[in-house]
Amino acid sequence: MATGHFPVFLVLLVAVFVLVLGLSISHISGWASLAQRYRCEEGFSGDRLRFRSAAMRYSSHYGNCLTTGANPQGLFLSMSVTFLVGHPPLFIPWSEITIRRGRFLWFKYVELRLGQELAIPFRISEGLGSRLAAWAGGAWPEESATGVR
């Protein structure tokens, strides 16, 4: 390979890696499954917080790369540019979400199960859960009687 082509090859290699990584994480976490039904085609109107973290299915973790939002109609999720591939914005109605609270050691969390049939876990901090609940108002789903373990 000519040395002049190496930078182009390296850029292409990184781009393919990011593409494959984004698509893989999307499928493992359940985001791709949710996008089939809950893709947000229009803009979201409501309060939102950027650079939030969450854990999803199979211990996949989104650290400081999520935008989360809520309004009385539902939950909004979008991804930062880093993992945009395979992660279209989502809008999930509250009627399609169940809520449970839990604790792991000293960390209190809220687990939202996204999609009635899919039940994809979306585990967030208690503080973020409280903000989303406030923005949802009376539409926030009633919490399950049994906690998550």
DSSP helix/strand/coil, 54: strand
Question: Among 29-33, 91-95, 102-106, where is mean pLDDT lowest?
Answer: 102-106
Give the type of residue at 82.
T
How many structural domains comprise the chain? 1
Please state the pTM of the whole predicted model: 0.84
In a domain, 3, yes or no: no
Output 97 or 85, whichever has higher pLDDT.
Answer: 97
Q: With bands split at pLDDT 50, 70 and 90, how would you rate the model's confidence at 34?
A: very high
For residue 51, give every residue at least 6 positions away whose Cβ sits within 8 Å of its Cβ, in sequence order, or none: 64, 65, 66, 67, 80
| Domain range for 33 | 10-139
- pLDDT average, residue stretch 90-97: 96
CATH number, position 76:
2.30.29.30
pLDDT band at 3 (very low <50, low <70, confident <90, very high): low
Kindly state whether residue 36 falls inside one of the protein's structural domains: yes
50, 67 in Cβ contact below 8 A? yes
Residue 148 lies in a domain: no
